[in-house]
Every structure is written in C-alpha cells, then in structure tokens.
Structure 1
C-alpha cells in the first residue's frame, strides 16, 4: 500500500480534531448554529497552524447533507466528496500561481452561477497576499457583495501585505502557534496509532523544532520514524535534524567562564566535524544564553521557554554568570550573527565571536553582580573623585579668604605692601590708585530714600537683576549683593554689604552693562552710584553725610583683577564663573 505522509494522513477532518485553535473553532461553530455565517473570512497566521484545514472543514460543515451542522458528519456524499476534492463548487485556488487580474476576472464571472452539487459555493484562496494590486481591485466588489450562495475564505501568512480595503470586507481570524503541550499530546496519540515508539525527550524536541507548526512537527516525526524503523530516540532526533545537545552548549559556556580558549576551539572543531553549520550553532548558542538569562532573572522562567528540558542544569549554569555578562554575551552573538549572513567564512566569525566572549573581564562574575557593569562602576568612581576634589578646593579657597581678610584688617599699609609684593611676584604691572569718596550730596540722597522714584526702582529691582543676569551672569553674581536705597534725579544709589562686590561692580565694563539695563528697564538713562551699606546706615542715623572716607579703587589691568592678591589667585586658578566670594 502506498505510504501517505503523516501530515496528510492525520489532517483533521472535523473541528473537534483540530489542535490549538479553540478560540476560532468555537466562534465558527456558534455562527453555524445561529445561522450567522459571513460571506467572507480571512484566516491569517504562521505556516502549519491549520488555516486551509479549517477552511475545508468549514466548507464541509455548511454543505453537509445533515446540516448546516457545527460538525460535518464526514459520512454523507457531500462530505466525502469535498474531502476528496471532487466537488466543483468548492474551489481551492493557489493565489501564488493564479495571481493575475485575468484569473480573478474569470472567478468573478463564475461566481454568478448557482452551485450545482452542494448547497453553497465556497472559494478558498490560499496565499492571498500574492495577488497583484490589479487582481485585488478586480476582486473587491465581488468580495463585498457576492451572491447569497457564495462564501469566500482567504488564507495568508502575511496579512500586512493585504490592502486595508480587502481586510475590512472580511471577518478576520488570527491563528496562533500551537503550544508545546498540545503538540506533544497530538504526536503521542499519532505514534500510538501508527505503532511508533518515541521517547518523551524526542517528542519534546520535535515540538520545539516545529516552532508551533503542527504540520512541521508531523513531517519531522515521519522523517525520523522512517530512518529509525519505528523507534524514535532523543539522540537520533538530534543527529538527523542537525541539532546540538544542551550539554555541548554547557561545555562551551564553561570554557567561557574559565577563559579556556584551547578547550573552546576543540569543541567548535568537534561541532564542525559532526556536520553542524556555523550559523545554526550561533543561533542555538544565542538561544541558550537567552534561556540562561530568563532563568536567572524571572522565577519559574522554564515556563517561558520551550527549549529547556532540564531546568536544574540551566539554573546551575545561570548562577555562574552575572546579568551584565549575559547581556554582553547575547549582544555580541547577535552582532556576529548579523555579520555572518554576509560572510563567506561563517565558521571563522563563529570562532571570533567566542574568542571575544572569552575577553569579558572576570570581575563581572556573579559575585560582583550587584555592582553593575564595569563602565558604570568607573563612572561612579570618577564622579566621586571629582566631588572630593571640589570640596577640597572650596575649603582651601575659604581658608585663603579668611586669612587674607584678617591680614587686611591688621593694617592697611601691611596689606598694601603684601598686595604689591604679590603682584610683583606674578609679574603684574603696578596699578594707579585714585581716591573715590562717598557720593557728594549725601543729605539729598537721604532725603530721597522714601520718594516715589525710589519706591518705583525698588519694586522693579528683581526685573533689573534678571535682565543683568541675562546679559552676563558673572556681573549678576557681583551686582546682586547690592540693593537700591535712593534715587536722585538721574542717579540710582546702590548700597553693598561687601566691598569686593562693590569694587567689581564699579569696573567700567561692568558698570556700563548695568547702566544700559537700567535705561531699558526704566525708559530713561540712569547713572549707577555705589557706596557701602554700613555708611548708608550711619548717614540715615545721623541725618547727614558720614565723614568722607577714601575708597581705594585701582585701575584694572587688561585682564581684570581685584585689590586682594588671594582673590586674584582664585580668579586666575578657577575663573570668574566658578569663584564665589563670601563675607
């Protein structure tokens, strides 16, 4: 008797025989019972998941002589002839071979005629995504409004290639991959019926190789059963399908942990001698480390992968790697797998990839997993070091300022002598001093302190400071120490708490910027006049101007500077943007 392939011999002939698509079967059966069948269906999903089989069973169910019934009887003349493909009113069309507009026009003409052998015409168009654009356009009107005696069933593995106008005219059903448990149960039943003895591990591995396709699983089982004379073992399945046992991957992983390049090269050579392809080895090895990562990261992760036969072995190996290591390994393998597609020496790239994995630093082992990757550790260490240096510099600067102010308070002549010697030691040219007294007409400024012009300036002082900051942030840093105390005609008197801030503000370049801002803010030109806040307070208390006290202002060098040498040192070392002077 002629042998029939297992996937053909065991093709489901009723809905109850189908595996893994219960959500679709139940919907179709309910539609048949309630007589709510659609005129057009779209079956999409991976190969070997039952799209065309479901279409034929549905054709039998709507045309069964005992129906329409939720299950075809497979005994009446109509069911038997549809199964044999002998009914002219149930047409299965291969769109890959009949993809032109002429074939679709011919179909559109024949649709008009009533069925001659069964109750309803059924057109099953397989691989419908292969139709041309013109063929789809020719099919659209008929697909939307076919005669009442016609049903269209479109099947495709690539629904995204179909025009949206076609999809919108159909009821769409998405077929999913058959689960491992359902596939294994079906294969065991078929093995019992066919007299094939198969090991549990062999059936599990066949199901994994099929990638959720029942037809692929039956084809692999049929091939191995023919070679082994009815006895299917795990080793035979691995040998015939070119698979690699997880033990060999575990050996490779162990060589990576130990950095044993010699043993690793021997294992690769052994795999090549056994006829394994380098690209398949790369793919399987990447899946192996992916499963290690899943088991290490997620509890009960053996349920999330269909390749793990012995979870305990995987857990032991996963414990030897850190998560950062596994991420780097998978990224490296993925990179070289992509390169391998365009290489004429795939084995060499496979070897280079594994050699590169051996160079992963040992400090990224599982014991150091909590510390993160080496890059993150180095970055954190560098930031910490910079922070420590900044704290030390701030302490030194504060100490220098305190020591300098104390020396200045001890005697003006001594401080001046030290400043001159410090400038001479740095090669600075001596500065020319000019006496600047407290502003003349102090009694008039005191009289204007509560005037409306003064109040107006004080109310908008925040905007003035912000405008100065927008012009130059370094000027703002010095100027913000002052506050407006009086406005007299075209002059604004600003009192400062700190003498250094006042001196820096009085620099011609800085003063010019501030006076420009004042003119823009108040709509008229104002001169900036400054004094010390303590002198202003004394003037208010006495009601008259304080005795004239000379303020030593020095003409600036080309690169700027201040009277105190320690301030010059700080500015020279760190720049104006980083130096903040406190009282």
Structure 2
C-alpha cells in the first residue's frame, strides 16, 4: 500500500516519510481499507464493496482493499466479487490474503497474481523475540522464547502477540514456567519425561501424569501436540538426521538425543501414528482425558515392530526348511511266492506285515504352534483360536487334515466356511511356500489314508477256508482272494501241499 500511494511512487521502496506513507503506517489512511473476510463473508457485504469501489481515492493515487482470510467468503460472495475482479476500476487494487489458498475458488485464483510467503522458522522467530526483549530491557530465558516461537507456528505477528501477553502476565523475569502457564501447556522437560514413560511401557506412572495435567487445567490437546513434536525430534535422531533439524533449546537437546538413541525408529513411528490418531479423535471427543489415556496405553503396549518382523522371518525360514525336506514313505512288504509245503506257515519273521496304528506325522506337524503363530501375525486371531481347538493328524500332498472333538462343532463349522477356510489356506500356503488345502473332521470319522489296506495275516485262518476244509476234507492246494461278483481274483498269496492223487484228485480244496 505504501509503495502504491507514496508521493515518490509507485515504487517498490517507499520513502516512509511522506504524509501518505506515515498515514498508512499509522492505519489512518482513508484510501487503504482492510476487511475481515471471516466477519464480512456474505453477499450483502460484497455488494456494498462493489458500490464503494466506484469512488476515487482522496489522498493517494490508488484505493487499496485488503481482504484478510478471504477463503472465509461464501460461494455467493465470491461469485458477486468475480465481475469486479475481472474489470476493476483503474484506481482500485485488491489484496486477497489467506492461509488456506486451496479453499479459494479457481475462478478467483485465475484472475489474481499470486505471491506465496514462506513461514518463519522457529529459530528466526526466537532471534526476533530476543531482539525485542533486549531492546525493551526485559529479562527472558532462552527456553521461554523457544516455547513462544513454537506456538507462533511460523507467524511472527502471532509470536509477538504471545510475547506481549506473557510480559504483561509476568511479575519479573520471563521464564519458561510463566510462558507455559499463560499458554496452558507444560515445559519441554515434562514432555520429555512423559515420553520416556510411554516408551518404557510404564503405564501407571503415565496415567498419573495425565491425571495431574487435567487437574491442573492444562490443555490436553495442546499437550498431545507437544508430545508428537517430541517424538518427531527423537525420530530425527534415531534415523540419523542432523540435530540442526531440531528446534530445541540447548538444555532439552541432550534429552532428545538420548531418547532417539534408546528407542528404535520403528517404535517411534508407531508412537507418532498413535498420537496422530488420538489428536484427530480429540476434535470430537467430549472427554479428552479418555482419548489421551487410550493413546498412552496403546503406545506403551506396542511391541517393537522390528523384533516381530525378525521373529516372523525366522519362523517362515524354519517352516520352509521343514516343508522342503523329503517325507519318507512307508515301505510296502515284498510279495514272495511261497513254495509248496505240507503245512501252512505264518509269514516270515523278517518281513512282518504293517501294524495298525496312528499314522506317522510328518515333521511339519511338529511345528504346529509356529503355524498358528503365523495366523495371529496376519491379524487373524479368530482363525488361530478356531484351529487351536483341533489336532493335526496328517499333511501330505498339500492336504492338511485336522481332527476336532465332538464338542468343538462350532470351531469346525467356522473353519469350513469358505471365507475362513480360504484365509487359512492362503496364510499357511505363504508360510510353507506351497499350496495348502484344509480338511476338517470329527474324531472317529474316516480320514483317507495313504497306507494300503492290510490283508489278513494267514489265509488258513479265514472262516470260509476253515468251513471248506471241514466240509470236503483233504489238504489245501491254494487259496485265491478276489471279487466274488466278478469272479476275478489275484493270486497274491498261495498255500499249497502235496496230494496223493494229484491236484485234480479227490480231496482238493480251491
């Protein structure tokens, strides 16, 4: 405004000494009109503005309208202002100021020349505050100025306003305790101490601190923001970043560096995420303390993500190693043709028939607990609970057979649901690095077996053979087993003896 209306202007460097420059600096110029967009946001105010722009300036060469927080105008007000922005009078200049430019309609932005102002850094604000306090002969601690600079949030004007409030409140030197009392927050030392309690999992002490904060009338939302900032600074140190990226006083910096070296970056990232979620919930919560307590408990109970990933990788490696190992198959008895002899003899002792008994479990079934842990790691604790009630009985050719007691029908039925079964198969297939198909049975149900069905040990003990011998007499030449309906049989086992009249004579039993 001074550059446009300076008596030596328009110029980018106004003199600041002429009548126009001095009146603008004092805020008494009638040619510079400042409008608050938040309180004059309706279409009626914009209509009045359109009527006033027709009048020529009284002192300077231009009439300047400064609309602060222009994004607060309504859509109707923007539409009414659009025509004036397109074709303003030659003597009128509009200055639209906003901190949320994305809320300004594109039709307005396309008709403006845009200038983006950068935010002041915390150190720059603190240096300016130090200069002001020294000029005003006010004693102020470095920590107090850093807290004010943080709360300025990049705005020099806001920081100077906070400084004025703190100076008026303080009865003596301006200390950090005075500043936090005015702002309703706590010192950085207390924030660092609280962060150490959460990182160490000391839930009880952390909850006591929250209780003291609420009873002391502190703003819990602001405290949570301070806590997030502290975790962010510690994360910078843990990730190997430079301390130049941290805006903290020399007294606080060693505490931040210590926590950054003690806590892993993965855990700090998780704590930051939890604080961010809690901060969003605080916007709508009626009891801020409950939200903060929940966040603290969740953060304190959070395990080290890196340790979990290492454990899962180890389990997957072990399971994959067991799955790739060869599974020995049971040897089948050799088929030996017995020579003709007088009396039937039992099977040879060196080749006993296979005994009935429980199937030999593959080695992978010994890792059952580790497989269940994979389900929990995949955030399917419900499937882990269902499957834990069963007992693995077989794993062959990619088919996992699980047996359930009769009173666990609900668990069996839940796993047989298509969505749950597919989820289990997908997780176990990924862990075993092979395709897995799940089959569930009740105890006592017939489960398909890979073992061949065993024949009777001695054919002479068969009741049919005994009845034939008693009926016809004589000696046994051979015994053939087969399908009675088809009339075909396998001559797998034969027992023969010499006969006086030959194989076709009387007394032969077949």
Does the alignment reach a TM-score above 0.5? yes
Output the TM-score relative to the length of structure 2.
0.60
1:222 shift after superposition: 0.8
1:62 shift after superposition: 1.3
1:113 shift after superposition: 4.0
Residues in 1 aligned to 2:37 and 2:181: alpha-carbon distance in whole angstroms: 37
1:183 shift after superposition: 1.3
User: 1:83-111: CA deviations, max 9, x gaps?
Assistant: 33443333223333333334433433443
Counterpart of 2:146 in structure 1 is 204
SS of alignment partner, residue 115 of structure 2: strand
Equivalenced residue count is 349
2:247 aligns with one of 306, 312, 327: 306
Counterpart of 1:290 in structure 2 is 232
Is residue 137 of structure 1 aligned with residue 69 of structure 2? no
Counterpart of 1:447 in structure 2 is none
SS of alignment partner, residue 156 of structure 1: coil
1:172 shift after superposition: 0.5
Counterpart of 1:344 in structure 2 is 286
Residues in 2 aligned to 1:264 and 1:161: alpha-carbon distance in whole angstroms: 40
1:166 shift after superposition: 1.1
User: 1:285-334: CA deviations, max 9, x gaps?
Assistant: 2322222112111321x332334653222111222222232233233333
Counterpart of 2:313 in structure 1 is 380
1:170 shift after superposition: 0.8
Flag the 1:201–1:107 CA change in 2: closer, same or farther, 3 A.
Answer: same
1:60 shift after superposition: 1.2
Alignment of 1:161-240 (within 5 A): 161-229=103-171, 231-240=173-182
Counterpart of 1:241 in structure 2 is 183
Flag the 1:333–1:412 CA change in 2: closer, same or farther, 3 A.
Answer: farther
SS of alignment partner, residue 316 of structure 2: helix
Residues in 2 aligned to 1:113 and 1:262: alpha-carbon distance in whole angstroms: 69
Counterpart of 2:265 in structure 1 is 323
Determine if contact 1:199/1:233 at 8 Å carries over to the other structure. Answer: yes
Is residue 396 of structure 1 aligned with residue 328 of structure 2? yes
Runs of 5+ in structure 1 lacking a partner? Answer: 1-58, 427-473, 475-553, 556-583
SS of alignment partner, residue 65 of structure 1: coil
Alignment of 1:152-163 (within 5 A): 152-163=94-105
SS of alignment partner, residue 114 of structure 1: coil
1:413 shift after superposition: 9.6
Residues in 1 aligned to 2:163 and 2:41: alpha-carbon distance in whole angstroms: 34
Determine if contact 1:180/1:212 at 8 Å carries over to the other structure. Answer: yes
RMSD: 3.4
Flag the 1:333–1:130 CA change in 2: closer, same or farther, 3 A.
Answer: closer
1:122 shift after superposition: 1.7
Is residue 97 of structure 1 aligned with residue 39 of structure 2? yes
Higher RCO (CA-CA < 8 Å; seq separation 6+): 1
SS of alignment partner, residue 74 of structure 1: coil
Residues in 2 aligned to 1:413 and 1:305: alpha-carbon distance in whole angstroms: 91
Output the TM-score relative to the length of structure 1.
0.53
Determine if contact 1:195/1:230 at 8 Å carries over to the other structure. Answer: no
1:422 shift after superposition: 8.4
User: 1:357-376: CA deviations, max 9, x gaps?
Assistant: 44345xx4xxxx8xx241x2
Residues in 1 aligned to 2:46 and 2:299: alpha-carbon distance in whole angstroms: 56
User: 1:398-426: CA deviations, max 9, x gaps?
Assistant: xx6xx66xx88x97999xx99xx989989
Runs of 5+ in structure 2 lacking a partner? Answer: 340-346, 358-396, 398-481, 484-510
Counterpart of 1:121 in structure 2 is 63
